[in-house]
Amino acid sequence: MASRKLPNYLRTHRKRSYLTQVEVAYLLGVRNGANISRYELHRRPPSLETAIAYTVVFGEPIQELLAGSYDEIALVTKERARRLSSKLRQSSANLRDARKLETLDRIILS
């Protein structure tokens, strides 16, 4: 089987902190523990508000908590940047386009 990162490591961090799903639900302001289970099993993505609350609760960045999802989104974004970059290179180059290309190169190389 593939050895890619898991979509998220929410369960790992919750278990390490000895918190129950109900307690995490309370801390995140989520209705009940069942929602926490859905996030952990990647059946439902957490909202932006919940994701930020997760980083506060576990003290880990979003790249670590939602590692697999982050990598997936980063890959798609880089692909879009690559496409936009090649489109810009075909058109006439001016100072503004040069700045845009700098930004796009940074995204692609990150």
Partner 1 sequence: MIVVSSSSESQSHALRRTLSIDPTSRGFGYVVLEGSDRLIDWGVVHIRRDKETGCLRRIERMIDFHKPSLVVTEDTTGTGSRRCKRVAQLIEGIGQISRQRGVLTTQESLAAVRRFFSQFGLADKKIQCIAMRCTVIVHVIGSQASQAACARLERVGILPV
The contact set with partner 1 (CB under 8 A) reads: 1-6, 9, 11-12, 15-16, 41-42
- Cβ 16 to partner 1 shortest distance, Å: 7
- Cβ 4 to partner 1 shortest distance, Å: 7
* Minimum CB distance to partner 1 smaller for 16 or for 106: 16
Residues near 87 by Cβ (< 8 Å), separated by ≥ 6? none
Find out whether 104 and 88 touch, Cβ atoms under 8 Å: yes
* Minimum CB distance to partner 1 smaller for 1 or for 95: 1
How many helices (H) and strands (E) the chain has is answered by 7, 0
- Cβ 12 to partner 1 shortest distance, Å: 5
Distance CA 8, CA 62 (A): 9
